[in-house]
Amino acid sequence: MTILNGSYREFKLSNGLVVALQNTPTQTIASKLRVNYGSSHEKEGEEGLAHFLEHCLVTSGSQKYDPVEADKIRGAFGYSNAFTSISRTDFVAEMLVEDFGKWMDYISDHAFRPRFDEVRVNGERERVLREISDAKSNPQYPASQEYNAIFYRGHPKGRFTLGKEEVVRNADLNKIREFHSKGFHPNNIDLILVGGLPVNAEEVIRDYFGVIQAGDNMKKEFPELKPLKERSIVRRPAPEMYNLDNPDESSAWLQISCVGPTKSHPDTYIARTMNHIYGGDTNSLLFQNVGLKKGLAYRASASYNGEYNCGELDIEANVPAKRIDEAVDAIFEEMERMKTQRVSDETLTRIKRLVRYNAAKSFESNDGHINIIEEKLDHGITPEDYIEGFNQVTPERVIEVANKYYPDRQKGNYLTFIRDPLMKATI
């Protein structure tokens, strides 16, 4: 099981564009153009331009195609979309093999030679403003912003990617063009293609992308999120969660978070394993003891994320609003179990088997191959590295890492955030 076989090729054009190609025996192709330019690249007064630019690039045409022509071309592919994150703007597509050249023509022209048709830009402006308003109208928005401020403490991971209304509202065409010109350079971009690639794929890529001049490489190295310095307990009203039929059975939302290892840290595989045992599936401690035995949660889970140099260990649960303290007690009780009781060899074997299954399943789709290639490009991790990392996990190391990262309830530094429908809001 490897991506580094005869059908995987990785090279760099003379202008710096990184290309990764994987042939698969399919009649379709999946593509991802990754531009290392996202919301974290915005300066003061630019908050929201990355997301607005993404919208404009997709819908406002290019130098070669007016917006109406571009719409027709884009609509001929099986799927196409774009996304903005804190570090990147991604353009994705799925297509028949016969449409490979058409996609290369379309995406290269839109990414590097956008038209920024004024009518379309203004239309997208209204859509983006609506998207921001929709996000801020969500009852969870104020709580999520407060959570981000306490947990991330200014780290880019806590940034609101959609940006500020006033920035989007006042961004004229010159501002958008200027922002685009800073980050859309071939040496700041990766192109990943997986599927039934034509034999002349490399030649086609060079024809469309090789003629574009290099610029600044904007790829970011994110600061490491430092451990929390204190314990914080935040409780906020959540009237939208109130059970009108049976108020006493209203459910509250509970999240307990602490800082864990980053993705590049040697503890990352143990942390993943630890969290899976603690709250990853129906065999987990949270499901079996907090859910089944004590009836405190229909859904209780633990997750780990180490991206952006930001390690996070999170426990989430919907619990009876009248039994919140009991639920927190039970969650920390199981956390102490992780710190003191040896995990069985049978449990570790089951998790390692699941890891191998997930890796094998990734190879069964073009999208899965893209995910694998992204891990290699971003972190230098192959499926073999991934599997071997989990194979090295031992029961002793699980206990060690649990004690290192899971907090003590009374003395530990962590954030507990509760949204309680029975708590009355104050004006």
Query: Comparing C-alpha atoms, which of 141, 140, 130, 136 is closest to residue 52?
Result: 130
Distance CA 375, CA 380 (A): 6
Domains of the chain: 8-209 (3.30.830.10), 232-420 (3.30.830.10)
Q: What is the mean pLDDT of residues 132-153?
A: 96
Percent of the chain with pLDDT over 90: 96
Average pLDDT over residues 247-253: 96
Q: What is the mean pLDDT of residues 95-118?
A: 97
What pLDDT does 1 receive? 41
Write down the pLDDT at residue 216: 87
pLDDT band at 427 (very low <50, low <70, confident <90, very high): very low
**In the predicted model, is pLDDT for residue 425 greater than 70?**
no
* Average pLDDT score over residue span 86-100: 97
Taking alpha carbons only, the member of 220, 225, 184 closest to residue 378 is 220
DSSP state letters, 226-275:
PPPSS-EEEEEE-GGG--SS-GGGPEEEEEEEEE---TTSTTHHHHHHHH
Residue with tokens 């609003």: 321
Bridge partners, residue 194, by sequence: 22, 30
By CB neighbour count within 10 A (0-12 exposed, 13-18 middle, 19+ buried), where does 192 fall? buried
Phi, psi values for residue 323, rounded to 5°: -130, 30
pLDDT digits (tens, 9 = 90+) for 181-223: 999 999 999 999 999 999 999 999 999 999 999 998 888 999 9
pLDDT of residue 426: 58
Length of the chain, please? 427
pLDDT above 80 for 4: no
User: What are the tokens at 3?
Assistant: 């991506």
Q: Which of 65, 416, 42, 33 is nearest to 190 (CA)?
A: 33
- For the chain, what is the mean pLDDT? 95
- Determine the 3-state secondary structure of 300 from DSSP: strand
Dump pLDDT digits (tens) for 42-92.
Answer: 999 999 999 999 999 999 999 999 999 999 999 999 999 999 999 999 999
Query: What are the two backbone dihedrals, phi and then psi, of residue 361, each rounded to the nearest 5 degrees?
Result: -65, -35
Residue 2: what pLDDT?
54
Q: What is the pLDDT of residues 399-415, one digit of tens each?
A: 999 999 999 999 999 99
